[in-house]
Amino acid sequence: MIRVRDLTVTFGHGAQAIHAVRGIDLDVAEGESFGIVGESGSGKSTVLRALVGLNPDWTGEIAIAGEPQHRKRPKAFYRSCQMVFQDPYGSLHPRYTVDRILSEPIEIHRLGDADRRIVDVLRDVGLGPEFRFRFPHQLSGGQRQRVAVARALVLEPKILLLDEPTSALDVSVQAEILNLLRRLRHERGLTYVLVTHNLAVVAYMCERVAVMNLGQTVEELPVADLRAGQTDHAYTRQLLSASQGYDRQAVEGYRSF
253 binds, among ligand ADP, Mg ion, none (CB under 5 to 8 A by kind): none
45 lines the binding site for Mg ion (CB under 5 A): yes
21-60 residues near ligand ADP, rule: CB under 6 A? 38, 40-46
Length of the chain: 257
166 lines the binding site for ligand ADP (CB under 6 A): no
Q: How far is the CB of 71 from ligand ADP (least distance, A)?
A: 15
CB hemisphere CA count around 211 (13 angstroms): 20
Which of residues 168 and 203 has its CB atom nearest to Mg ion in the complex?
168
Q: How far is the CB of 120 from ligand ADP (least distance, A)?
A: 32
191 binds, among Mg ion, ligand ADP, none (CB under 5 to 8 A by kind): none
Q: What are phi and psi of 168, to 5 degrees?
A: -90, 0
Q: How far is the CB of 163 from ligand ADP (least distance, A)?
A: 7
Name the one range near Mg ion by CB under 5 A: 41-49, 68-76, 119-127, 238-246. Answer: 41-49
Which of residues 62 and 106 has its CB atom nearest to ligand ADP in the complex?
62
Q: How far is the CB of 215 from ligand ADP (least distance, A)?
A: 7
Whole-angstrom distance, CA of residue 201 vs CA of residue 151: 22
Of 160, 130, 144, nearest in space to 64 by CA: 160
| Distance, first Cα to last Cα, the chain | 37
* Alpha carbon separation from 24 to 47, 166, 217, 220, 242 (Å, rounded): 9, 25, 6, 11, 24
Q: How many residues bind ligand ADP (CB under 6 A)?
A: 11
Burial 143-170 (b: 16+ CB within 10 A, else e): bbbbbbbbbbbbbebbbbbbbbbbebbe
Q: Note the maximum CA span of the chain.
A: 61
236 lines the binding site for ligand ADP (CB under 6 A): no
Of 78, 69, 75, 59, nearest in space to 9 by CA: 59
18 lines the binding site for ligand ADP (CB under 6 A): yes
Which residues would be at the binding site for Mg ion (CB under 5 A)?
A: 45
Which residues would be at the binding site for ligand ADP (CB under 6 A)?
A: 11, 18, 20, 38, 40-46
